Amino acid sequence: MLITINDIDVNVIKKPIKNLHLYVKPPDGRVEVSAPLTMRDESIEMFVRTRIGWIKRQREEFDAQPRQTKREYVSGEAFYVWGIQYYLLVNYSNKCNSLILDGDKAILTVHRESTAEQRERYVNEWYREILKVEIEKALPKWEGITGLHPSSWQIKNMSTKWGTCNIKTRKIWINLQLAKKTYECLEYVILHELIHLEEKNHDSAFIAKMDSFMPNWRSVRKSLNEQILDYLPIY
């Protein structure tokens, strides 16, 4: 259910829980409420209204985070791979596209007449390939540690979630943007989604498992949410 309060969209999800939980989620300040199944809509709305000031402060913090400008894929732009900043150097060739990391430079070779959108598609496929390699290493590691196994996994370019999980099908999705973040952030997201296969909500049982498998997960999450954000249209 979607409600709008003071021009802020709030996604309300009713669950078999006892208490209300309010979230303002990175990277773009999406607002979500988890509410008990029996709670009246009017009570949920009243609760959100009492927290409008807090919601706005959280969204202002997200807005204040360093954020990349819209990518044009031209020489001189910042280019991030596994949390390291490179500087994009664009070369032109009539042969195949390529992207090579060399020192502090990311050398992108493309056709001179290629558009920013075409370059972005190529770069995203490059990110997809390097992320796939690391997931194929990290996922079996965490499956072994937790004893939890998804039915399948997929990489998806998402603007509001670092990962997601379908409990019924046991499929997980990993955000393509994680190829730009430090490697520990990918491991954190993989573990987070694996635990959701067993624990649907972010309740005490979920937190206990996170604490058991990755005691420093809170600092990793903080690091993930503080790293430079990708360009997103203003919401």
DSSP 85-115: EEEEEEEE-SS--EEEEETTEEEEEE-TT--
97, HSE (Cβ side, Cα atoms, 13 Å): 17
Query: Residue range 21-50: average pLDDT?
Result: 85
Q: Which positions ≥6 away from 30 have C-beta within 8 Å?
A: 11, 24, 160
pTM score of the predicted model = 0.72
> Where is 210: in which H helix or E strand?
helix 204-213
> What pLDDT, on the 0 to 100 scale, is given for residue 2?
84
Task: Return the pLDDT at 20.
Answer: 83
Q: How far apart are CA 88 and CA 29, in angstroms?
A: 29
Q: What's the pLDDT at 224?
A: 86
pLDDT top residue among 24 and 82: 82
Domain boundaries, the chain: 2-64, 115-226
For residues 88 and 228, which has the higher predicted lDDT (pLDDT)? 88
In the CATH hierarchy, which fold is given to the domain comprising 115-226?
Answer: Zincin-like (3.30.2010)
* pLDDT at residue number 172: 96
Is the pLDDT confidence value at 209 over 80?
A: yes
Amino acid 229: pLDDT:
57
pLDDT at 164 over 60: yes
